[in-house]
Amino acid sequence: MRVSIIGYGEMAKAIAKGLKGNIEFEVVGRDEEKLKKFANEFECEYYLLDGFDITDKIILLAIKPYALSEVSMRIKGKAEVLISILAGKTLFELEKYIKSKYYLRAMPNIAAKYQASTTALTGDIKAKEIGEKILSFIGDVIWVNNDDEIDMATAIIGSGPAFLSLIASAIEDAGVYTGLKRDISHKLTKGLFKSFTSLKENYDTIKNQVMSPKGTTAEGIYSLEEDGVRGKIMKGIIKTYEKSKKI
């Protein structure tokens, strides 16, 4: 199996890092200097986009959504499988611009470079196994039912690291405000997120186990709820989903 990655941005690099040593791949793009740099870093072959023949290839499309039309005019042929990680671009739109036997939409996140992504995947069921095999090298894969669910997943999986970074930064800053040295607060915050991922209980159970009557956690939860933090987080994710439908 060989994968042709079209694009050389940060997500393309993250995926390449996960695939390196597991699946053979090549990179395709417009800028030869950037292609050479990518190819040297990941020890793969590179090809210029203009006239690139996708016939019978497994294509992993990792470009900006707005570039779909332009890229489609620069390539030729009909792919075997097209795996797109373009936010907001439906399976119908992909079929309109790029010819392929099978189509898949995927939404990984930046943790792919550490093989720790959670990737949502949907599309032609006949290509599911191929998509899952490729994407499993960058982390866990969750199959969802349709385009709309991918867009919903984008708001959580794709944008989620930015949201969690905002929360983590606030927690770290709060530690500094209360008197901790920056490096200690940073380590404690990183440790908190690492510890949290190991918990198996549902979120309400975790909260209830930590939150004792008239305790310190109860006071903090009350303050956060009074300020509407939960609603604001939900609103941010919902707005992200709505934006993905307009791209």
Sheet with 79-84: list strands edge to edge: 45-48, 24-29, 2-6, 58-61, 79-84, 100-107, 117-123, 139-143
Structure confidence at residue 246 (pLDDT): 78
Query: Strands, E, within the chain: which ranges?
Result: 2-6, 24-29, 45-48, 52-53, 58-61, 75-76, 79-84, 100-107, 117-123, 139-143
- Classify residue 232 by its DSSP letter: H
Q: So what's the pLDDT on residue 180?
A: 98
Q: What CA–CA distance (Å, rounded) separates 170 from 176? A: 10
**83 with 106: CB under 8 angstroms?**
yes
Give the end-to-end CA distance of the chain in Å, rounded to a whole number: 32
Q: What is the pLDDT of residue 244?
A: 82
What is the CB neighbour count within 10 angstroms for residue 16? Answer: 26
Tokens 């300020």 -> residue: 227
Per-residue pLDDT of the chain (247 residues; tens, 9 = 90+): 899 999 999 989 989 998 999 999 999 999 999 999 999 999 999 999 999 999 999 999 999 999 999 999 999 999 999 999 998 899 999 999 999 999 999 999 989 889 999 999 999 999 999 999 999 999 999 999 999 999 999 899 989 999 999 999 999 999 999 999 999 999 999 999 999 999 999 999 999 999 999 999 999 999 999 999 999 999 999 999 998 877 7
CB 144 within 8 A of CB 153: yes
Q: How far apart are CA 1 and CA 174, in angstroms?
A: 49
**What is the rounded distance in angstroms from the CA atom of residue 154 to the CA atom of residue 158?**
5
Structural domains in the chain?
2-146 (3.40.50.720), 160-244 (1.10.3730.10)
